[in-house]
Amino acid sequence: MAKILVTGGTGYIGSHTVVELQKVGFEVVIVDNLSNSNIEVLNGIEKITGIRPAFENIDCTDYMALDRMFEKYPGIEAIIHFAASKAVGESVEKPLLYYRNNLTSLINLLQLMPIHKVKHFVFSSSCTVYGQPDELPVTENAPIKPALSPYGNTKQICEEIIQDTSHSNPFYRAIILRYFNPIGAHPSAEIGELPNGVPNNLLPYVTQTAAGLRKELKVFGNDYNTPDGTCIRDYINVVDLAKAHVIAVQRLLDEKGEKAVEIFNLGTGTGLSVLDIVNTFERVNGVKVPHSFAPRREGDIEKVWADPTRANTVLGWKAQETVEDTLKSAWTWECRLAKLREEKAANAEE
Ligand code: UD1
């Protein structure tokens, strides 16, 4: 079966996607600079699938290193490009880091594709491109709103770069996937989200608070125009999300695309509030998540959820997991991490 390059393959969504690709027989080459992930993720992938993917420690902003990688692994047929910086707050403080990293990586890959005869490209985009949509649920045809952060802007610019490049040369075939809010972990608890330092995103903060690593969760804003006053998002199981990438790659390889660049929303179609998540997490896992209300977080959108009809009908992909099972998987993963920490501490004492 085809050989697929997965950039950012040791990251959160990347690692789950590598598992699903290998499960159906694709050969995977991971490129990652480990800036926000751990090499041990490869062990988790191997435990689940029985296969250790090829790995190259490469920064995608390094054109020459990528070029050499394509020489080393001839016959790569498609690229799934996850590798990018993704912390909204950090991007406000370090915009040039975000523009350099996210834009240069994409440009390098697109430039190298025709040289190495790689036609197919899947890009990780985000619902952040919609800003606060005028109509909900939001479809792929909704207008792109001015970005609220440099991070969000890089996703918009990257989408435009892909469109312009494809327009200039019919060689390229791409699928842009706009993720809503990925959460949860692989049911085996061999891989999951590994945030560095204090988590920015809701779910890792919830699980770390439940585990006692954080004192309490601050719920950012309870005066929004929503039923309980807290923000609403479309939380999507990370394994469901990973499976959509396998379908997207297969669609490209089968040359089934209706256009050179196709765009799909990846969400469940259901919006849940911050309090819905906290309450459901507590109920299904039988643990407490101490929380209190705090002022609104700058740049937060009030409510957004997907219309996933296009992905459902055209891709033939649909989110399957319930939010209950997804929140259980997130907790199982956090408990696994706690156990690993204990083991490491015990080993250090010996
Ligand atoms: C953000 C980005 C998204 C990006 C994602 C991954 C925007 C609008 N969204 O999603 O593009 O892909 O991060 O990094 O730029 N919350 C709390 N307390 C916390 C943490 C979060 O109440 O400690 C709330 C937030 O206010 C929000 C919800 O939980 O309402 C989800 O937040 P988060 O997980 O950070 O994701 P987004 O901001 O939706």
pLDDT in tens, 209-222: 999 999 999 999 99
pLDDT at 196 over 90: no
Amino acid at 210: A
- For 96-143, write each residue's pLDDT tens digit: 999 999 999 999 999 999 999 999 999 999 999 999 999 999 999 999
Indicate the number of domains in the chain. 1
* Distance from C-alpha of 67 to C-alpha of 275, rounded to nearest angstrom: 47
CATH of residue 96's domain is 3.40.50.720
For residue 299, is pLDDT > 90? no
Which candidate, 67, 101, 96, places its Cα nearest to that of 84? 101
- 133, two tokens: 């949509």
The whole domain housing 47 covers 3-343
Which residues 6+ apart lie within 8 Å of 214 measured at CB? 198, 205, 208
What is the pTM assigned to this prediction? 0.97
Task: Look at residue 58 and tell me whether its pLDDT is greater than 90.
Answer: yes
Distances (CA, A) of 205 to 56, 132, 209, 211, 293: 31, 24, 6, 10, 14
d(C-alpha 149, C-alpha 255), whole Å? 35
**Among protein residues, the one whose CA lies closest to atom 21 of ligand 1:** 202
Query: In 3-state terms, what secondary structure has residue 38?
Result: coil
Please report the pLDDT score of residue 195 as a whole number: 84
Active site residue 235: no
Taking 90 as the threshold, does the pLDDT of residue 26 lie above it? yes
- The pLDDT score that the predictor gives to residue 198 is 93
Mark residue 66 as left, alpha or beta (left: phi above 0; alpha: psi -120 to 50; beta: remaining). alpha
Q: How many angstroms does the Cα of residue 314 sit away from the middle of ligand 1?
A: 28
- Residue 349 falls inside a structural domain: no
Task: Say what percent of the chain tops pLDDT 90.
Answer: 96
In a domain, 225, yes or no: yes
Among 130, 151, 179, 205, the active-site one is: 151
- Mean pLDDT check: name the lowest of 70-74, 147-151, 236-240, 322-326: 147-151
350 in any annotated domain = no
Residue 304's pLDDT is 98
Whether residue 264 contacts residue 175, with contact meaning beta carbons closer than 8 Å, is answered with yes
The answer to whether residue 301 scores a pLDDT higher than 90 is yes
For ligand 1, the distance from its centroid to the CA atom of residue 304, given in whole angstroms, is 11
Asked if residue 348 belongs to a domain, the reply is no
Count CB neighbours of 213 within 10 A.
Answer: 16
pLDDT beyond 90 at 15? yes
Residue 349 has pLDDT above 90, yes or no: no
Ligand 1 touching residue 86 (CB < 6 A):
yes
The arithmetic mean of pLDDT across residues 287-306, rounded, is 96
Q: Which atom of ligand 1 is the closest one to the Cα of 294?
A: 22
In the chain, beta strands by DSSP E: 3-7, 27-32, 54-57, 76-81, 120-126, 173-179, 181-183, 217-220, 232-233, 235-237, 261-266, 272-273, 291-294
The predicted pLDDT at position 282 comes to 98
The atom of ligand 1 lying closest to the CA of 86 is 14
**Mutate-to-test residue for ligand 1 from 194, 201, 241, 280, highest number of ligand atoms within 8 A of CB:** 201
> How far does residue 182's CA lie from ligand 1's centre (Å)?
10
- 223-242 per-position pLDDT tens digit: 999 999 999 999 999 999 99
Cβ of 300 less than 6 Å from ligand 1:
yes
Q: What is the Å distance from ligand 1's center to 232 Cα?
A: 10
Sequential DSSP letters for 206-275: HHHHHTTSSS-EEEE-S-SSSTTSS-EE-EEEHHHHHHHHHHHHHHHHTT--SSSEEEEEES-S--EEHH
Q: Is residue 232 part of a domain?
A: yes
The overall average pLDDT reported for the chain is: 97
What's the gap in Å between 1 CA and the centre of ligand 1? 37
Cis ω before 137 (30° cut-off from 0): yes
pLDDT value at 332 more than 90: yes
Q: 88 in ligand 1 pocket by Cβ < 6 Å?
A: yes
- 239 lies in a domain? yes
- Mutating to test ligand 1, I would choose from 300, 305, 323, 326 the residue with most ligand atoms within 8 A of its C-beta, which is 300
Query: Can you give the pLDDT at residue 296?
Result: 96
- Give CA separation, 114 vs 20, 78, 111, 165, 173, in Å: 27, 12, 7, 11, 11
Find the 71 Cα to ligand 1 centroid distance in Å. Answer: 39
Q: How far is CA 141 from CA 157, 166, 174, 266, in A?
A: 17, 19, 17, 14
Task: Evaluate whether residue 139 is within a structural domain.
Answer: yes
Does the CB atom of residue 152 touch ligand 1 within 6 A?
Answer: yes
Q: What is the pLDDT of residue 169?
A: 97
What distance in Å separates the CA atoms of residue 76 and residue 66, rounded to the nearest whole number? 12
